[in-house]
Amino acid sequence: MKAYQVDNAEGFQQIKLVERDTPEPAADEVLVKMKACSLNYRDLLIPLGGYPRNETRPVIPLSDGAGEVVAIGKAVDNVKVGDRVMGNFFQDWVTGPVDEKGLCSALGGGIDGTLAEYFLLKAHAALNIPDSLSYEQAASLPCAAVTAWHALVVLGNIKSTDTILLLGTGGVSIFGLQIAKAHGAKVIITSSSDEKLKFAKQLGADHTINYVTHPDWEQQVLAITDGKGVDNVLEVGGAGTFEKSIASTKVYGNISLIGILSGFDGPAFNLTVALNLLKINGIYVGSVEMFAELADFISTHNITPVIDSVFDFDDALDAYQYLADAKYIGKIVIQGPN
């Protein structure tokens, strides 16, 4: 089969298209013909090395994929050949708290991922795609959408009276916007692009802030919330935004620490966290149970994932470059090979 392969830590430009044997499913696995897969910021970091628990080499990249089941292991009884499925980011995090084994089972880093003609899933981590979603839409969910669900619903316990702050218009933030609005919450979203903010408004954002025009955007957040701050921040930036997120959060509020888009290094301590009794939750995607709950929610509320661009399989590295250029809104998808 055709597959892309990460062999070193020299960047995505060194990812190679290779021929590999089509894998055979073990007793508890299913083999999926890839119809679509999608990119996340993590996929730029994997081929640079230094991403904990994701140093397997060689490895087929990408965590997010959807396709048709073409073979099943002898112990599999929850899916059948011909089913349309999508795979959980962590193959061995099914429910409850995660352990080290689960954290080492991330597709596209710890184990082979989805950027290939065929990929393997543990049967317990293969979810049926809602009828309302295409393969491309389903492939956009496993990382970004589950991350937003974990932050807002599972740990954030979102309510209709909440105000949510979203940073940027990438996959996690756009799914966060859609999930929050479906819960009736108020949403503030930031971006450096007025065009992207206009699109976010069309999706239901209540307030938008251009952080280039307003570099002290935390002051804008406080003005919007009458000085109180927000209930939950989906903090995808890291260094450079974390302190502003702290300043934007109300007493007893949540900061969902998700990403490192603006760098790894940041302040080690901020007294406001203690003085405002803030809860800082580390969010690392989520379990199969969370994904199943999210899928039901998306189906019930008729949420349509936002896909910016779709690339052909042979142009996968162009999709990586488009991700690196950071001009997209929502998700970038790669179709399966013909």
Q: How far apart (Å, rounded) are the C-alpha atoms in residues 36 and 133?
A: 12
Rounded to 5°, angle at Cα 166 from 159 and 256 = 70
Q: What is the pLDDT of residue 259?
A: 72
- 271: containing domain: 156-282
Q: Specify the range with the lowest mean pLDDT, choosing from 60-69, 223-232, 251-260.
A: 251-260
Of 199, 244, 252, whose CA–CA distance to 220 is shortest? 244
Are 166 and 266 found together in one domain?
yes
Give 92's strand partners: none
DSSP run (H or E) holding 137: helix 135-139
At residue 265, the pLDDT reads 56
- In terms of Cβ atoms closer than 10 Å to its own Cβ (0-12, 13-18, 19+), residue 18 is middle
Q: What is the pLDDT of residue 316?
A: 98
**Residue 239 banded pLDDT, cuts 50, 70, 90:** low
Taking residues 29-44, what's their average pLDDT?
Answer: 97
Contact residues for 285 (Cβ-Cβ < 8 A; gap 6+): 89, 90, 106, 142, 143, 146, 147, 150
Residue 208, C-beta contacts closer than 8 angstroms, at least 6 positions apart? 188, 189, 190, 191, 197, 198, 200, 201
Average pLDDT on 170-185 reads 98
Give the separation between CA 1 and CA 178, rounded to whole angstroms. Answer: 37
Residues 14, 86: one domain?
yes
On whether residue 85 sits in a domain, the answer given is yes
The predicted structure's pLDDT at residue 267: 55
Question: 162 and 139, same structural domain?
Answer: no
If one compares 201 and 271, the residue with the highest pLDDT of the two is: 201
The model's confidence at residue 171, banded by pLDDT at 50, 70 and 90, is very high
What is the percent of the chain with per-residue pLDDT over 70, rounded to a whole number? 96
Can the peptide bond before residue 305 be classed as cis, meaning omega within 30 degrees of 0? no
Give the CATH number for residue 236. Answer: 3.40.50.720
Q: For residue 317, what is the domain's CATH number?
A: 3.90.180.10
Provide the pLDDT for residue 266: 54
Do 325 and 230 lie in a common domain? Answer: no
For the chain, what's the residue count? 338
- pLDDT at res. 137: 98
Most distant pair of Cα atoms in the chain: their distance: 60
The verdict on 192 and 312 lying in the same domain is no
50-78 residue pLDDT tens: 789 999 999 999 999 999 999 999 999 99
Q: Which two tokens stand for residue 225?
A: 């919330």
Among 112, 106, 138, residue whose Cα is nearest residue 331: 138
Angle at 200 between CA 40 and CA 278, to 5 degrees: 70
pLDDT tens-digit map of 119-163: 999 999 999 999 999 999 999 999 999 999 999 999 999 999 999
Q: How much is the pLDDT for 262?
A: 43
Task: Report the domain count for the chain.
Answer: 2
Q: Give the predicted TM-score (pTM) of the model.
A: 0.96
Mean pLDDT confidence for 19-28 = 98
Per-residue pLDDT, averaged over 216-238, amounts to 96
Residues 160 and 276 in one domain: yes
Q: Is the dihedral of CA 15, 21, 26, 32 positive or negative?
A: positive
**117 vs 51, higher pLDDT:** 117
For residue 263, is pLDDT > 50?
Answer: no
299 within domain boundaries: no
Q: Is residue 39 part of a domain?
A: yes
Residue corresponding to tokens 């502003």: 244
Do 22 and 137 sit in the same domain of this protein?
yes
Determine, yes or no, domain membership for 259: yes
Span 68-95, average pLDDT: 98
Is 33 buried (19+), middle (13-18) or exposed (0-12) by CB count in 10 A? middle
Cα(8)–Cα(42) distance, rounded to whole angstroms? 16
Q: Above 60 in pLDDT, residue 269?
A: no
Give the list of residues 6+ apart from residue 217 with CB closer than 8 angstroms, or none. 190, 209, 211, 244, 248
In this prediction, residue 268 carries a pLDDT of 52
274 pLDDT band, cuts 50/70/90, is confident
Are 233 and 128 part of one and the same domain? no
Q: What percent of the chain has pLDDT over 90?
A: 92
- Which pLDDT score is estimated for 275? 73
What sign has the CA pseudo-torsion 183, 328, 236, 64?
positive
For residue 5, give the nearest of 122, 108, 89 by alpha carbon: 108
Query: What tokens does 292 get?
Result: 């199943």
- Looking at the structure, tell me whether residues 244 and 318 fall in a common domain: no
pLDDT exceeds cutoff 90 at 278: no
